[in-house]
Structure 1
Amino acid sequence: MSDDKTQPGGQDRTRINVNEDYELRDWSKKFNVSPDQLKAAVKAVGTNALAVEQHLKQSKNP
Protein backbone atom coordinates (compact mmCIF):
# COMPACT_ATOMS: atom_id res chain seq x y z
CA MET A 1 0.00 0.00 0.00
CA SER A 2 1.40 3.38 -0.90
CA ASP A 3 1.75 6.10 1.69
CA ASP A 4 -1.49 8.07 1.21
CA LYS A 5 -1.08 11.14 3.41
CA THR A 6 -4.80 11.94 3.08
CA GLN A 7 -5.72 8.66 4.81
CA PRO A 8 -4.22 8.62 8.32
CA GLY A 9 -4.11 5.40 10.30
CA GLY A 10 -4.52 1.88 9.02
CA GLN A 11 -1.67 -0.14 7.60
CA ASP A 12 0.85 2.73 7.63
CA ARG A 13 0.95 2.71 11.43
CA THR A 14 2.59 -0.71 11.43
CA ARG A 15 5.22 0.05 8.78
CA ILE A 16 8.24 2.32 8.81
CA ASN A 17 9.17 4.14 5.62
CA VAL A 18 12.68 5.51 6.14
CA ASN A 19 12.43 7.29 2.77
CA GLU A 20 9.92 9.76 4.23
CA ASP A 21 11.67 12.44 6.30
CA TYR A 22 8.77 12.86 8.72
CA GLU A 23 8.53 9.11 9.35
CA LEU A 24 12.27 8.80 9.87
CA ARG A 25 12.15 11.69 12.35
CA ASP A 26 9.05 10.48 14.20
CA TRP A 27 10.05 6.81 14.48
CA SER A 28 13.60 7.75 15.53
CA LYS A 29 12.15 9.90 18.28
CA LYS A 30 9.70 7.19 19.36
CA PHE A 31 12.45 4.58 19.66
CA ASN A 32 15.02 7.07 21.03
CA VAL A 33 17.59 6.24 18.35
CA SER A 34 19.38 8.16 15.62
CA PRO A 35 18.01 8.11 12.07
CA ASP A 36 21.02 6.02 11.02
CA GLN A 37 20.29 3.45 13.75
CA LEU A 38 16.68 3.27 12.61
CA LYS A 39 17.71 2.79 8.98
CA ALA A 40 20.09 -0.01 10.00
CA ALA A 41 17.33 -1.72 12.01
CA VAL A 42 14.88 -1.50 9.10
CA LYS A 43 17.54 -2.92 6.79
CA ALA A 44 18.13 -5.79 9.22
CA VAL A 45 14.53 -6.81 10.00
CA GLY A 46 12.25 -5.05 7.52
CA THR A 47 9.67 -2.31 7.85
CA ASN A 48 7.39 -3.86 10.50
CA ALA A 49 7.43 -1.45 13.45
CA LEU A 50 7.18 -4.19 16.09
CA ALA A 51 10.08 -6.13 14.57
CA VAL A 52 12.17 -2.96 14.41
CA GLU A 53 11.35 -2.12 18.03
CA GLN A 54 12.34 -5.61 19.20
CA HIS A 55 15.55 -5.49 17.19
CA LEU A 56 16.50 -2.11 18.68
CA LYS A 57 15.77 -3.32 22.22
CA GLN A 58 17.95 -6.40 21.67
CA SER A 59 20.71 -4.21 20.28
CA LYS A 60 20.68 -2.06 23.42
CA ASN A 61 20.64 -5.10 25.76
CA PRO A 62 22.88 -7.77 24.25
Structure 2
Amino acid sequence: MADDKSKKGPADSSKINVNEDYELDYWTKALNVSKEELKQAVQKAGTSAKAVREYLNK
Protein backbone atom coordinates (compact mmCIF):
# COMPACT_ATOMS: atom_id res chain seq x y z
CA MET A 1 0.00 0.00 0.00
CA ALA A 2 1.32 3.43 -0.90
CA ASP A 3 1.92 6.11 1.70
CA ASP A 4 -0.81 8.70 2.14
CA LYS A 5 0.97 11.88 1.08
CA SER A 6 -1.73 14.06 2.65
CA LYS A 7 -0.45 13.12 6.09
CA LYS A 8 1.96 15.59 7.66
CA GLY A 9 3.45 13.44 10.43
CA PRO A 10 5.30 10.15 10.43
CA ALA A 11 3.49 6.85 9.89
CA ASP A 12 5.32 5.45 12.93
CA SER A 13 6.38 8.13 15.41
CA SER A 14 9.02 5.86 16.94
CA LYS A 15 10.96 5.63 13.64
CA ILE A 16 12.47 8.25 11.34
CA ASN A 17 12.26 7.64 7.60
CA VAL A 18 14.50 10.14 5.80
CA ASN A 19 13.46 8.69 2.42
CA GLU A 20 10.00 10.28 2.57
CA ASP A 21 9.95 14.04 2.04
CA TYR A 22 6.97 14.66 4.34
CA GLU A 23 8.63 12.73 7.17
CA LEU A 24 11.93 14.51 6.57
CA ASP A 25 10.11 17.86 6.80
CA TYR A 26 8.27 16.78 9.96
CA TRP A 27 11.39 15.53 11.77
CA THR A 28 13.62 18.47 10.83
CA LYS A 29 11.03 20.81 12.35
CA ALA A 30 10.36 18.60 15.37
CA LEU A 31 14.07 18.25 16.17
CA ASN A 32 15.10 21.72 14.98
CA VAL A 33 17.87 20.45 12.70
CA SER A 34 18.71 20.69 9.02
CA LYS A 35 17.94 17.87 6.60
CA GLU A 36 21.63 17.02 6.37
CA GLU A 37 22.02 16.96 10.18
CA LEU A 38 19.02 14.66 10.45
CA LYS A 39 20.28 12.31 7.74
CA GLN A 40 23.69 12.14 9.41
CA ALA A 41 22.11 11.46 12.82
CA VAL A 42 19.99 8.64 11.36
CA GLN A 43 23.06 7.20 9.66
CA LYS A 44 24.98 7.21 12.97
CA ALA A 45 22.21 6.37 15.47
CA GLY A 46 19.75 4.38 13.38
CA THR A 47 16.10 5.05 12.60
CA SER A 48 14.82 5.04 16.18
CA ALA A 49 13.47 8.51 17.05
CA LYS A 50 14.67 8.05 20.63
CA ALA A 51 18.21 7.11 19.53
CA VAL A 52 18.36 10.06 17.12
CA ARG A 53 17.21 12.48 19.84
CA GLU A 54 19.88 11.12 22.19
CA TYR A 55 22.53 11.39 19.47
CA LEU A 56 21.59 14.99 18.70
CA ASN A 57 21.59 15.97 22.38
CA LYS A 58 25.21 14.84 22.95
Tell whether the structures are fold-level matches, with TM greater than 0.5: yes
**Structure with greater helix percent:** 1
Q: Aligned to 1:22, what secondary structure does the other structure show?
A: helix
Runs of 4+ aligned residues of structure 1 deviating over 6 Å after TM superposition are none
For structure 1, the residue ranges without an aligned partner over 5 or more in a row are none
Q: Does residue 40 in structure 1 map to residue 40 in structure 2? A: yes
Residue 13 of structure 1, CA deviation: 1.1
For structure 2, the residue ranges without an aligned partner over 5 or more in a row are none
TM-score (norm 1): 0.76
Q: Report sequence identity in percent.
A: 49
Residue 49 of structure 1, CA deviation: 0.0
TM-score (norm 2): 0.80
1:1-62 paired onto structure 2 within 5 Å: 5=4, 12-58=12-58
Q: Which has the larger radius of gyration?
A: 1
